[in-house]
Structure 1
Amino acid sequence: MARKIGSRYTAHQILGRGSAGTVWLGEGPEGPVAIKLLREDLASDQELVGRFVQERTALLGLEHPHIVTVRDLVVDGNDLALVMDLVRGTDLRTRLDRERRLPPEAAVAITADVADGLAAAHAAGVVHRDVKPENILLDMRGPLGPGGSHRALLTDFGVAKLIDTPRRTRATKIIGTPDYLAPEIVEGLPPRASVDIYALATVLYELLAGFTPFGGGHPGAVLRRHVTETVVPLPGIPDELWQLLVQCLAKAPASRLRASELGARLRELLPLLAGMPPLDVDESGGDHPDDESAETADAASGDAADRGGREPSAGPARDGAAGRRRGAVPLVPGARPTGSHRDTHTSMRVPAPDELAGPAHGTARAPRASGAPRPGSARNRATARRRRIAVGAGAVALLAAIGVGTWLATDGDDTGMGPQDTRNSAPDTP
């Protein structure tokens, strides 16, 4: 059913739903558009509406081949909407759901496109703050790039900042998607351009490995890993690419590359990656031990009231027997609307320093051969439990055998020399 959005636009069909609102296929004076209609509770927040109007000039001024252009911002009664260019294609999350991981050449080409878009935004003073596969669109209309990749465009500029109002988050809250949050955000520092570099490096890691380096389990556990744990090399990629990833995933913001440098360095690596197949790493990379999640649940989430105020999300969804997690908010026609497996704009208490304390040189998740159980996973714990039972049974059998042997020896002493007794039997001499 069609609905009017302001005086110039008409929304015809829902393309997807996200934690911040609903995306519609719409029509405007210049043709088809994508309209992101924010939730009614956000539209009724006068502070947010004021910020929305303040950000209008900055958002409308972002124009780049790798940024989805914001054409208009609409404030009309209960409607608060961003009107954007319509991209004919799909989003990166949908492609990951289908392929699990991408060939390195395609992964690097897509990441380089997004880095170029971020460079333009950062030069204009705009920080995205929510870089993730759901917010990266793939334009299917143009020619294919390196590794068969489609041109990538970054969307949803300004949404995280609009929602992150002081009244909504206060000084003790953080806003973002846990898997992609830079350590300085977890520690309560203001977001700078370097947080987008960290998030984009996390996306690249996910494109190569099929899972994020610090994700899995309760959001609180994810936050702690960003601060305390390091990643290990992915098997089968050139060392130059790995060193680039390590630099952009550095805990210290100043150690990371700028977006323009990252884009240029990635494109220099493309010839090394030509023809490489997707990496052969463990398919269960997204799992993390439940006990670690439980340990940090209360520390990172705050009390029940805080959890009740979290932005709604579709929650985890499983894709059939394969157990793949879904999570797209498509802004394009033809992309299936699915629920995000990673909370978007999740409001959480900033953990105290002692709550973030962990192993000084911990490793987040070491990729290993496909089929091998991950340390700490349910499969690994079950294997260890069976091993302990087997060892225990062997020990009982050994003790039983020793007991029987001892009994036989003692019984022989009580009844005189047996056939195997070789002791000296001569009578004692006075």
Structure 2
Amino acid sequence: MARRIGSRYTAHQILGRGSAGTVWLGEGPDGPVAIKLLREDLSSDQELVGRFVRERTALLGLEHPHVVSVRDLVVDGNDLALVMDLVRGTDLRTRLDRERRLAPEAAVAIVADVADGLAAAHAAGVVHRDVKPENVLLDMQGPLGPGGSHRALLTDFGVAKLIDTPRRTRATKIIGTPDYLAPEIVEGLPPRASVDIYALATVLYELLAGFTPFGGGHPGAVLRRHVTETVVPLPGIPDELWQLLVQCLAKAPASRLRASELGARLRELLPMLAGMPPLDVDEPDTEAEEEAAEDVPVPGPVPAAGEPVRRRGAVPLVPGAKPSDSNRDTHTSMRVPAPDELAGGARGTARAPRAAGAPRPGSARNRAVTRRRRLTLAVAAVLLATAGVGTWLATSDDTPTPPEDTHNSTPAVP
């Protein structure tokens, strides 16, 4: 059923739902539009409404071929809505779900498009803060690019910032999707343009590998890895591309490239990637991380018996949400891990390099191996001590009378 949005727009059909609101297919003075209607609890927040109005100029001024433009911001009664260009196509998450991973040429072409869009946004002083495949739309009506890629456009500018009010997040919350969060956000620092570069490099890694470099398992473990781990190499890609990924996934924000530099460098690599098939790589095991977080409650539904466990990709943090909301909008808040959780050990184990088959430090398997080793050493010490006493008794001329309290005669185990 149609509903009015302000005085200029009519929403006809729901295209999808997410944690921040509902996306409608609508009609405006200039034709079809996409209308993102924010949740009622957001629209009733006067602080957020004020921020919404203040961001109007910056968002409306963001025009670029690789950005889904915001045409209008509507504040009308209980309605708080962003009116955006309508893109005839799909999102990058849908393509990943279908193909699992892309050929390097197509992956690099898509990410280069997004980098160009981010460069324009950053030049205008706008940080996206939630770059992920769900927020990359593919225009199916335009001409094909390198590797058969469709033109990519970045959407949902401003939504994370609008929701991230001090009263909502304070100093203990995070806005974003854990798989793509830069380390400085996890550590509570203010988000700057470099967080978008880190997230986009994570998306590129996922397009190539079929999984994110630090994702999988409990959300707390995902955040910990961003801070403590180095990225696992991807075999089969040119060294120039790998070095570019490593630079943009650097823990230090200042070490990452700017968006304009990333886009230009990626396009320079396209000729050497032509014709390369998708990579054939194995997804890392997250069993140890899940064991390390075994006592921590996991938000959301528990998989039924026999139901496959999702090992990689975005982790839903809203109870009852699914990783694949129909419009892929998963802006959420969550707790920042305490310093001891980020420091390592049983509650903060980084996936450090280790020999094949060796248990991960801090995991349940590692603790079991350690207990067995200690027990073996204790038994060996007792046997050695007993053998020593027996030898002494056998060789001594004056055999002493055994003491009455035999418990006190047992050698101490070191």
Q: Smaller-chain TM-score range?
A: 0.7 to 0.9
In structure 2, the residue matched to 1:349 is 335
What TM-score do you get using the length of structure 2 for normalisation?
0.78
Partners of 1:56 and 1:274 in 2: how far apart?
Answer: 42
In structure 1, the residue matched to 2:115 is 115
Aligned 1:5-404 pairs, distance under 5 A:
5-282=5-282, 289-294=289-294, 297=296, 338-339=324-325, 344-358=330-344, 362-363=350-351
Q: Deviations over 1:160-184 (max 9, x none)?
A: 0000000000122221111100000
In structure 2, the residue matched to 1:421 is none
- The count of residues paired between Structure 1 and Structure 2 equals 357
Q: Which runs of 5+ in 2 are unaligned?
A: 316-322, 373-414
> In structure 2, the residue corresponding to 1:81 is in which secondary structure?
strand
Contact 1:205 1:211 in 2 (8 A): yes
Q: Which amino acid in the other structure matches residue 106 of structure 1? A: A
Q: Which amino acid in the other structure matches residue 330 of structure 2? A: T
> In structure 1, the residue corresponding to 2:152 is in which secondary structure?
strand
What TM-score do you get using the length of structure 1 for normalisation?
0.75
> In structure 2, the residue corresponding to 1:93 is in which secondary structure?
helix
Q: Deviations over 1:95-125 (max 9, x none)?
A: 0000000000000000000000000000000
Q: Which runs of 5+ in 1 are unaligned?
A: 302-306, 308-312, 329-336, 367-371, 389-430
- Report the CA distance between 1:233 and its aligned residue: 1.1
Contact 1:212 1:286 in 2 (8 A): no
Residues 285 and 8 (structure 1 numbering): CA distance in 2 closer, same or farther, change over 3 Å?
farther
Q: Deviations over 1:249-300 (max 9, x none)?
A: 00000000000000000000101110001100125767764213336x47xx
Q: Which amino acid in the other structure matches residue 247 of structure 2? A: Q
Partners of 2:218 and 2:337 in 1: how far apart?
Answer: 14
- Report the CA distance between 1:374 and its aligned residue: 11
Contact 1:8 1:29 in 2 (8 A): yes
> In structure 1, the residue corresponding to 2:190 is in which secondary structure?
coil
Partners of 1:235 and 1:276 in 2: how far apart?
Answer: 13
Q: Deviations over 1:329-387 (max 9, x none)?
A: xxxxxxxx942899933222222322211289954799xxxxx99977xxx98xx99xx
Residues 373 and 66 (structure 1 numbering): CA distance in 2 closer, same or farther, change over 3 Å?
farther
> In structure 2, the residue corresponding to 1:351 is in which secondary structure?
coil
- Report the CA distance between 1:204 and its aligned residue: 0.3
Partners of 1:107 and 1:364 in 2: how far apart?
Answer: 28
Contact 2:216 2:222 in 1 (8 A): yes
Q: Which amino acid in the other structure matches residue 254 of structure 1? A: A
Q: Which amino acid in the other structure matches residue 258 of structure 1? A: R
Q: Which amino acid in the other structure matches residue 199 of structure 2? A: A
Partners of 1:291 and 1:322 in 2: how far apart?
Answer: 14
Q: Which amino acid in the other structure matches residue 113 of structure 1? A: D
Q: Which has the higher contact order (CA 8 A, sep 6+)?
A: 1
